[in-house]
Amino acid sequence: MIENIFQLKWVVARHKQAPLLKEREQFLEHCHLQGTSHKALHSMAPELIAVIHLLQMVDLREVSLEEIKQAAKDWVKEQHSNPKARSYEKSASYFVYVAKKWLRFHGKLRMPSPPRARFADELDDFVAFMATEQGLSPISIRSHRGKTSKFLDWFADRHRLLSSASLDDVDEFLAFKANNGWNRESVSTAAQALRSFFRHAERRSWCKPGIAAGIQGPKIYQYAGLPEGPSWDDVRRLLQSSKGSSPAAIRARAILLLVAVYGLRSGEVRRLFLDDIDWQAETFVVTHSKRGGIAVISAAQGCRRRHSEIPHESEASHSVPQRVRDAPSAISPAQSLHYVLHREYSFEQAWHPVSEEGATQPATCLRNSLAAAGSLI
């Protein structure tokens, strides 16, 4: 490997005569395979000789970080006394970088142990209790340990003694985590872990009694993870499936557009009358199902999404009159639009493409899609 880095024979000979040639070449070969440039290898190889010299290494041995830093200071002093040296500013940092990288590659870098956490003994005792007395699975133990450790680290920044812990501390911690990235499931799992930990702490007399009984996490609903409504890709697919010139297709598309574009409830569609529609102004009057009162809605008030995402709002006003023109002439202007749209056709039949997806309340699903986009009228 040395011959691939240097061309001058006396330089190659100098590197080959230095100690730990095999270990240096193994490291340089590894760096080369990892994509290190030839220029970087050209700088790293002589630095390795300096590392070995200043660490006084004849054989590989474990070296601490403090020893490397002291050797780096000695290296800087040598550089100052070397007339050929051009720069001293980065000598120490580069020396430490190469030494750590080389020793870590051979598994000989001894890093300082991290300081032991304040409540580490209590946490270890809790973990041993879960494993030996409760018989929990390794996954459950790891989960409870992780959540409890986060609480104890948070608590240690505020209190010195576990005996000063209170239910307010637990509630504050859970609220803090809920507001900083944890979802309901994570907060609920943490509450379970802390409830178990404080029951154990109370048995050990580490804290005052009653904390575990008061810990409550958020409720997890069975269908909390399911979407409230279909995505707009599904809505577009549904509208595409209702295209056609048959009376059934025209009816279905008119209903679906009224719900999907304007967010009408099924009851609001049922209560529409022909004289509620102003064909020239392209507006219609809706009697709200829940909040009561009436509203005049125009085509321009349709869903404010990009035109490429849903059909243009005017499609709703085009489909409805097309169905009305196909209706019997005996229908009076006060006749319910529900009769025109649903004659010999139940309202639920319009939702057949959606019902196959498992939706029990399709109109509500489409409304929820609009609400999620902030587009309800």
Do 182 and 309 lie in one domain? The reply is: no
- H or E segment and range at residue 9: helix 9-17
The answer to whether 71 touches 54, Cβ cutoff 8 Å, is: yes
Which residues 6+ apart lie within 8 Å of 94 measured at CB? 43, 47
Query: Three-state SS for 64?
Result: strand
Asked if residue 49 is part of any domain, the answer here is yes
Across 68-82, 246-260, 294-308, least confident range: 294-308
The pLDDT > 70 percentage for the chain reads 74
Nearest to 366 by CA among 274, 249, 258, 229: 229
**How many angstroms separate the CA atoms of 80 and 283, rounded?**
87
pLDDT of residue 322: 53
Do 73 and 16 lie in one domain? The reply is: yes
Do 194 and 106 lie in one domain? The reply is: no
Of 186, 214, 242, the residue at which a domain comes to its end is 214
pTM, whole model, 2 decimals? 0.44
Across 41-50, 214-223, 240-249, 280-289, least confident range: 240-249
Asked if residue 330 is part of any domain, the answer here is yes
Do 104 and 67 lie in one domain? The reply is: yes
Higher pLDDT, 302 or 60: 60
Nearest to 270 by CA among 289, 284, 253: 289
Asked if residue 77 is part of any domain, the answer here is yes
Do 195 and 248 lie in one domain? The reply is: no
**How many angstroms separate the CA atoms of 159 and 165, rounded?**
8
Residue 277 belongs to domain with CATH number: 1.10.443
Pairing of strands 283-287, 63-64: unpaired
Asked if residue 202 is part of any domain, the answer here is yes
**How many angstroms separate the CA atoms of 105 and 10, rounded?**
28
**Assigned token pair, 145:** 């340990």
The answer to whether 335 touches 273, Cβ cutoff 8 Å, is: yes
Do 195 and 282 lie in one domain? The reply is: no
Do 167 and 254 lie in one domain? The reply is: no
Of 92, 110, 128, the residue at which a domain comes to its end is 110
Do 239 and 365 lie in one domain? The reply is: yes
Asked if residue 307 is part of any domain, the answer here is yes
Asked if residue 340 is part of any domain, the answer here is yes
Asked if residue 222 is part of any domain, the answer here is no
Pairing of strands 63-64, 109-110: parallel
Nearest to 294 by CA among 272, 274, 313: 272
Which residue range(s) make up the domain with 148?
A: 120-214
**How many angstroms separate the CA atoms of 4 and 11, rounded?**
12
Do 60 and 132 lie in one domain? The reply is: no
- H or E segment and range at residue 210: none
Residue type, 266: S
Of 50, 78, 110, the residue at which a domain comes to its end is 110
Chain mean pLDDT for the chain: 77
Do 15 and 51 lie in one domain? The reply is: yes
pLDDT of residue 357: 40
- β partners of residue 273: 336
* Number of structural domains found in the chain: 3
DSSP states of 301-355: GS--S-TTTS--THHHHHHHHHHHHTS-TT--TTSBHHHHHHTTS-GGGGGHHHH
Asked if residue 221 is part of any domain, the answer here is no
The 10s digit of each residue's pLDDT in 217-240 is: 888 777 666 666 677 777 778 777
Residue 139 belongs to domain with CATH number: 1.10.150.130
Nearest to 128 by CA among 200, 207, 212, 206: 200
**How many angstroms separate the CA atoms of 177 and 148, rounded?**
13
Which residues 6+ apart lie within 8 Å of 30 measured at CB? 105
Do 58 and 152 lie in one domain? The reply is: no
Higher pLDDT, 134 or 345: 134
Do 104 and 124 lie in one domain? The reply is: no
- By the 10 Å C-beta count (0-12 exposed, 13-18 middle, 19+ buried), 301 is classed as middle
